[in-house]
Amino acid sequence: MKSTNVTRIMNLVDQSERFKRQGHVGGVLWFTGLPASGKKTLAHLLETRLFNLGYQVIAFDSVWLRKGLTSDLKFCRLDRKENIRRAGELAALLSGSGLIVITAFISPYVEDRAVAREMNNNFHEIYLDVPIEICEARDQRNRYKRAHLGELTNFTGVSAPYEKPLNPNIVLEGSVLTKHECVDYLVDYVNHNFKSA
């Protein structure tokens, strides 16, 4: 239930002033893809590269969020929806203050990603397209194996669906490109799309 007695106080520092000082606009780079497709690895490699180039940047992933802000949520459909809603709200808050926010979430449902996009003015969906067989082979935590054995329920790609993005800003073929090639491409993308006017 939404609060009805909350009044928003406007910031005295204009968003455009923040962007000007930082030398770039804020925005969200939202990684999505199957478990073990490489989202978290790419997100944190990209964060490091952009930080070293002088960008104000932060990366966070589902594990980071589920240890704090969404620790009350499980993996049923409604809780997954709420997990992505909270991630989208956090990304909007941070990107609105001028940060480049890099998120790494399976975010398996088109509808939930659309909600996150709606919250963020400068949202870029990055689909990490990796065949499930490769994801299974990469899975060091054996989650796919456990899901096939019935030990993990509601596991995306096995006992829960993954809906491919309908119109992502970027598609990275993670089984073809190396992680460094992916990061190089994304740095170039940020350089062209996040510079302030």
At 86, list the tokens.
């909270």
**Please, which residues have CB within 8 angstroms of residue 138's CB and are 6 or more apart in sequence?**
36, 37, 38
Which helix or strand (DSSP H or E) is residue 147 part of?
helix 143-148
The amino acid that residue 125 corresponds to is E
Q: Rounded CA gap, 153 and 158, in Å? A: 9
Kindly report the number of other CB atoms within 10 A of residue 164's CB atom: 13
Which helix or strand (DSSP H or E) is residue 61 part of?
strand 57-61
Q: Rounded CA gap, 93 and 103, in Å? A: 13
Q: How many CA atoms lie within 13 A of 14 on its CB side?
A: 3
∠ Cα 106 173 109 (to 5°): 25
Which positions are catalytic? Answer: 107
Total length of the chain: 197
